């Protein structure tokens, strides 16, 4: 184990050594947050405080692999310009020496409280887990208070990712967990002062609940109210693909229901995946002064193939999604790009009414690879198919006949096109954010979203539109600015 000053010294050195390689990478992202060097995964401690949004993240600065993570720290006032702060938590104590794992933030009595999992492995590789606290007066320097919760009975050491919130004067915490029968679940705690925590059992209390047998581990839970409903977001591991669902290595999704704070039981309906693309995991939400529920997620999934991303040769890996506002309307969750993101748009908008005829395509010359937003509003769609090809590396296809939306991308493992798809009754609009090597597609104002990394050959990102029959839509295109 290293001391904190030594860790920070090593970090400064590595940042200096590797920064240039990262900055030279043509795939370096322009408006998606990424690590200065090394590997980024989950968003952590996302919170609004004193006019700024703090977004911490799981960070392995020294290499592009997973390992003993620290908490990196980004801050913004407007979601357009970001400042990278000094590292917030380092894995340098006995209770977090193998990683300051994921967690959350809450403001209490003018201080910022961070709750995180201290990951510890002994010499035989056995795991121990501590739910730890660190407190800050300025949101930059953190004073570690050590473990506040140790592992309750009934769980394996796969017990992590505390998310804390307040409901009527009481604080609550959910923790992602694995029961002794090696099934995933979510543990609940409550506290009056954020220091002393009482265990309240699993939030899934009903014996017949399908979540009792829904994968071997639940990671990164988040429980909150939205428009009068209680939503539980979590990441089940170990689900088998089923129809168009569960095709990524691990899933991220939510259930909607009613939380009984007396008994600590959540009654809920089905599980829905949050994102239908390839790269989305470990989402975390917060609320701000305006009462908006805002979500970030890691635009990646823990998987075997991670080391095939070409950015590895430039000493960095992975990024965050764009911030999305969550809305619950007409019994459905919508994810919309956060309003502030319109400020990314540079002044000259390109606008056109596009009419396509069968078997002809229209090519939009996109002069930049650095950041583009497209907005399409459909008037008529052909029965059979409509397709958009982006930079020869991504294809979006909608079949009205089959009521299917398809995303295909060139795999970064073998260069072959791979596919994700979802049922879509009707296509009315598309909002597409194209970064140097990441794309997010918001369908019908956030009814469905697809996220994916992609690697084109980096000549400009030309875009082809084609369709099987006559098709018309209005198109707007903007170049987007960068946060660097
Ligand atoms: C999710 C996760 C969390 C853990 C963290 C470690 O991606 O595995 O469960 O706290 O990443 O980096």
Structure tokens at 231: 């939503």
Centre of ligand 1 to C-alpha 296, Å, is 15
The average pLDDT across 128-138 equals 98
DSSP E strands, 360-428? 361-364, 372-380, 386-390, 394-399, 404-410, 417-423
The average pLDDT across 137-158 equals 97
Centre of ligand 1 to C-alpha 149, Å, is 18
Cα–Cα distances in angstroms (integers) from residue 366 to residues 351, 371, 374, 391, 482, in the given order: 13, 10, 11, 9, 17
Calpha distance 334→237 (Å, rounded): 24
Q: What's the pLDDT tens digit per position in 420-465?
A: 999 999 999 999 999 999 999 999 999 999 999 999 988 878 999 9
The average pLDDT across 208-219 equals 98
Residues in the ligand 1 pocket, defined by CB under 6 Å: 41-42, 58, 69, 101-102, 117, 160-161, 219-220, 281-282, 302
> For residue 161, which atom of ligand 1 is closest to its CA?
10
Residue 299's pLDDT is 98
Mutate-to-test residue for ligand 1 from 35, 39, 42, highest number of ligand atoms within 8 A of CB:
42
Q: Is 315 a catalytic residue?
A: no
Q: How confident is the model at residue 125 (pLDDT cuts 50, 70, 90)?
A: confident
Nearest Cα to Cα of residue 61 among 53, 69, 52: 69
The dihedrals phi and psi of 379, each to the nearest 5 degrees, come to -100, -55
- Domains of the chain, CATH where assigned: 4-337 (2.115.10.20), 345-479 (2.60.120.560)
Residue 75's pLDDT is 98
pLDDT exceeds 90 at position 228:
yes
> For residue 302, which atom of ligand 1 is closest to its CA?
7
Quick check: pTM over 0.95? yes
Residue 266's pLDDT is 98
Residue 361's pLDDT is 85
**Collapsed DSSP state (helix, strand, coil) of residue 300:** coil
Torsional class of 185: left (φ above 0), alpha (ψ -120 to 50), beta (otherwise): beta
Cα–Cα distances in angstroms (integers) from residue 295 to residues 63, 104, 171, 202, 417, in the given order: 27, 13, 21, 24, 29
Q: What's the pLDDT tens digit per position in 59-79?
A: 999 999 999 999 999 999 999
Mutate-to-test residue for ligand 1 from 39, 71, 131, 220, highest number of ligand atoms within 8 A of CB:
220
Centre of ligand 1 to C-alpha 60, Å, is 12
Calpha distance 182→176 (Å, rounded): 13
- Considering the candidates 25, 42, 222, 275, report the single residue annotated as catalytic: 42
Structure tokens at 247: 């095709």
Q: How confident is the model at residue 370 (pLDDT cuts 50, 70, 90)?
A: confident
> For residue 235, which atom of ligand 1 is closest to its CA?
1
> For residue 69, which atom of ligand 1 is closest to its CA?
12
Mutate-to-test residue for ligand 1 from 282, 302, 303, 318, highest number of ligand atoms within 8 A of CB:
282
Write down the mean pLDDT value for the chain: 96
Q: How confident is the model at residue 360 (pLDDT cuts 50, 70, 90)?
A: confident
- Between 367 and 100, residue with greater pLDDT: 100
DSSP E strands, 88-150? 100-108, 111-121, 127-136, 143-149
CB 298 within 8 A of CB 281: yes
Centre of ligand 1 to C-alpha 96, Å, is 14
Calpha distance 285→296 (Å, rounded): 7
pLDDT exceeds 90 at position 365:
no
Residue 208's pLDDT is 97
Q: What b-and-e string marks burial along 391-425, b requiring 16 or more CB atoms within 10 Å of the CB? A: bebbbbbbbbeeeebbbbbbbbeeeeeeebbbebe
> For residue 119, which atom of ligand 1 is closest to its CA?
10
Centre of ligand 1 to C-alpha 100, Å, is 10
Centre of ligand 1 to C-alpha 102, Å, is 6
Name beta bridge partners: 432. 374, 441
Q: What was the ipTM of the complex prediction? A: 0.99
């Amino acid at each position: 184990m290293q001391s904190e000053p030594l860790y920070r010294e090593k970090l400064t050195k590595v940042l200096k050594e590797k920064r240039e390689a990262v900055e030279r990478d043509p795939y370096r992202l322009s408006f998606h947050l990424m690590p200065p060097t090394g590997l980024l995964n989950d968003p952590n401690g996302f919170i609004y405080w004193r006019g700024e949004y703090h977004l911490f993240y799981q960070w392995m600065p020294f290499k592009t692999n997973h390992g003993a993570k620290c908490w990196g720290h980004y801050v913004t006032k407007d979601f357009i310009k970001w400042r990278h702060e000094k590292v917030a938590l380092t894995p340098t104590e006995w209770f977090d020496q193998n990683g300051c794992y994921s967690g959350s933030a809450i403001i209490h009595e003018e201080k910022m409280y961070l709750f995180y999992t201290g990951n510890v492995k002994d010499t035989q590789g056995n795991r121990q887990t501590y739910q730890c606290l660190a407190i800050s007066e300025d949101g930059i320097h953190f004073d570690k208070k050590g473990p506040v919760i140790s592992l309750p009975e009934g769980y394996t050491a796969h017990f992590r990712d505390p998310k804390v919130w307040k409901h009527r004067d009481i604080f609550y915490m959910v923790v992602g967990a694995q029961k002794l029968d090696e099934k995933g679940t979510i543990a609940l705690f409550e506290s009056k002062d954020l220091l002393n925590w009482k265990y309240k059992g699993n939030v899934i209390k009903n014996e017949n609940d399908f979540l009792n047998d829904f994968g071997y581990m639940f990671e990164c839970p988040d429980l909150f109210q939205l428009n009068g409903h209680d939503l539980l977001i979590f990441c089940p591991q170990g689900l088998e693909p089923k129809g168009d669902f569960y095709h990524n290595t691990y899933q991220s999704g939510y259930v909607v229901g009613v939380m009984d704070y007396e008994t600590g039981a959540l009654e809920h309906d089905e599980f829905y995946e949050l994102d239908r693309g390839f790269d989305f995991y470990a989402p975390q939400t917060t609320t701000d002064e305006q009462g908006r529920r805002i979500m970030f997620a890691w635009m990646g999934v823990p998987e075997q193939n991670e080391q095939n991303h070409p950015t590895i040769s430039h000493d960095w890996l992975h990024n965050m999604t764009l911030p999305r506002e969550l809305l619950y309307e007409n019994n459905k969750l919508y994810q919309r790009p956060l309003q502030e993101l319109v400020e990314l748009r540079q002044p000259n908008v390109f606008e056109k009414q596009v009419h396509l005829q069968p078997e002809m395509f229209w090519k939009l010359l996109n002069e930049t690879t650095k950041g583009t937003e497209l907005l399409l509003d459909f008037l008529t769609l052909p029965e059979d198919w409509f397709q958009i090809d982006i930079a020869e590396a991504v294809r979006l296809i909608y079949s009205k006949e089959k009521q299917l939306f398809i995303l295909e991308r060139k795999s970064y493992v073998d260069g072959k096109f791979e596919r994700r798809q979802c049922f879509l009754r009707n296509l009315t609009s598309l909002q597409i954010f194209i970064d140097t090597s990441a794309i997010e597609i918001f369908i019908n104002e956030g009814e469905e979203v697809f996220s994916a990394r992609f690697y084109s050959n980096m000549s400009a990102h030309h875009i082809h539109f084609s369709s099987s029959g006559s098709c018309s839509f209005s198109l707007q295109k903007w170049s987007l600015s960068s946060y660097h």
